[in-house]
Amino acid sequence: MRMLVINAGSSSLKFTVFDFSWMGRQTVLATGQVECLGLPMSYFIYQKSGHTKSKTELEVVGERQDRGDYFNHTDAMKVVCDKLLDPEEGIIKNIKDIIAIGHRAVHGGEKITKPVIIDEKVKDIIRECISLAPIHNPANLAGIEACEKFFPGVPNVAVFDTAFHQTMPPESYLYAIPYELYKKYGIRKYGFHGTSHHYVAKATANFLRMPFEELKLITCHLGNGCSIAAINNGKVIDTSMGMTPLEGLVMGTRSGDVDPAIVLALIDRGMSPQEVDNMLNKKSGLLGVAGINSGDMREVIEAGEKGNLQAALALKLFVSRIVKYIGAYYAELNGADAIVFTGGIGENSCVIRAKIVEQISAFFVHLDSSMNANSVGVPAIISTKESKMKVVVMPTNEELMIATQSIDLLLSEGRLKLVAV
Ligand code: ADP
């Protein structure tokens, strides 16, 4: 069974093709991405498993070029479809060889709490949520519609970033602003990275050989975007990102939590709302504080180690915000079985993990320093045997989660049948 997973972002379209055997094993057949959509020079990166990666520059041609049009999501999907069908480099002979397409979708509002088979109603919900995710939801829709065009008759499933967090109770998701604003505009916390938190929480349960439904977990997704979730017996009870992915932890270029009055103070001092938005999303976080013109954690750590005090301060801020959230979630969960680290930083940086765990020793949690140093990008328990809470490294795999959730849904709805070969 070949399954295509699509992640259509504002300026890119990423894809993975999985092959699932009827025994439930999966392998990646091909991956790739079209980058710089809507910009003058788009390009296509493609890799068939076991072959070298290729990079091709892309341009619109003919009348559209004369009009100054750039590559869009439909163009990108055509390139992907043609490549997958290519007799030499492709991995399918016919579009029907793809049994289903799973889409990463960002904002499903309150109406979507689990993966859904895409129909006109689901597309309407994605449209209704555009005001909550103005950059991501239109791109998700464009990716879905392009798949409907190039893979007619193949079922599409959407797996939403917000869905796993929909179990939060009102005291976690409401802001203490007039209740009518929640009712009228849907202003509340939704949370993001849900597919990643869900995947690593389940994978951790499997890894620890404990039932997911009986575990209390604090999952830390630390990448360019960072978020943390408190998961009680398989259900999210709180998470750090809010109505948008700006709230919560300090990130690569995003501020995370700030006093909301700062926004008004800056507008009062002459910045436009768009400038403040841009500053908080693109010029803040590690990039804003470290003073090295980079929000990349590896570069900030390197600068800090070379004695750059501002970079060292950015690291302290990054770690301190995480520690505060872990403390809060430990209390909300009334204790936790494990803290899970994932994302580019969480999976790879023993330095950051050590700094965080050092500061939560009040919870009787202790790192095994050699396990920590040796566990890079692989599942591992990095706490000592005596530690009261386990500390786990668990690589995320959102594409695989989207693929498996899509297949499970299609099987349960009778839209797919398993055939032994
Ligand atoms: P995204 O959120 O865009 O998917 P990733 O999850 O790939 O991003 O995370 C990117 C971040 O991970 C960057 O800040 C990068 O510097 C950081 N990172 C990757 N490897 C390491 C490492 N070995 N040590 C510290 N940070 C790392």
List the catalytic residue out of 82, 86, 119, 161.
Answer: 161
Q: Supply the pLDDT for residue 420.
A: 61
Domain borders along the chain are 2-160, 212-397
Residues of the chain with pLDDT under 50: none
Predicted confidence (pLDDT) per residue in 235-289, tens digit: 999 999 999 999 999 999 999 999 999 999 999 999 999 999 999 999 999 999 9
Q: Is residue 191 left, alpha or beta, with left meaning phi > 0 and alpha meaning psi from -120 to 50?
A: left
Span from the CA of 343 to the centroid of ligand 1 (angstroms) = 7
140 φ/ψ angles, rounded to the nearest 5 degrees: -60, -45
Cβ of residue 245 lying under 6 Å from some atom of ligand 1: no
Q: Quote the distance between the C-alpha of residue 75 and its chain's center.
A: 24
Instruction: Confirm whether 2-160 and 212-397 share one CATH topology.
Output: yes
* Rounded distance between C-alpha atoms, residue 276 and residue 262, angstroms: 9
> In this predicted structure, what is the pLDDT of residue 421?
56
Where would I find the beta strands (DSSP E) of 49-149?
54-58, 98-105, 116-117
Contact 349 CB / ligand 1 (< 6 Å): yes
d(C-alpha 408, C-alpha 322), whole Å? 34
What are residue 249's phi and psi, to 5 degrees? -70, 160
**Is 161 annotated as catalytic?**
yes
Rounded distance from Cα 225 to ligand 1 centre (Å): 9
pLDDT of residue 348: 98
Report which DSSP code applies to 361.
G
pTM: 0.95
- Residue 298 Cβ inside 6 Å of ligand 1? The answer reads yes
pLDDT of residue 25: 85
Cα distances (angstroms) measured from residue 50 to each of 45, 59, 89, 93, 241? 15, 28, 11, 19, 38
Which residue among 222, 292, 297 has the greatest number of ligand 1 atoms within 8 angstroms of its CB, and so is best to mutate? 297
pLDDT digits (tens, 9 = 90+) for 185-201: 999 999 999 999 999 99
Sign of torsion over alpha carbons 81, 157, 21, 29 = positive
**Of 414, 408, 315, whose CA–CA distance to 356 is shortest?**
315
Looking at the CA of residue 225, tell me the nearest atom of ligand 1: 2
Cα(33) to centroid(ligand 1), Å: 19
The model's pLDDT over 16-42, given as tens digits with 9 standing for 90+, comes to 999 998 777 899 999 999 999 999 889
CATH architecture for residues 2-160 = 2-Layer Sandwich (3.30)
H or E segment to which residue 26 belongs? strand 26-35
Q: Are 148 and 4 in contact (CB under 8 A)?
A: no
**CATH no. of 212-397:** 3.30.420.40
3-state SS, residue 35:
strand
Going from the Cα of 342 to the center of ligand 1, the distance in angstroms, rounded, reads 10
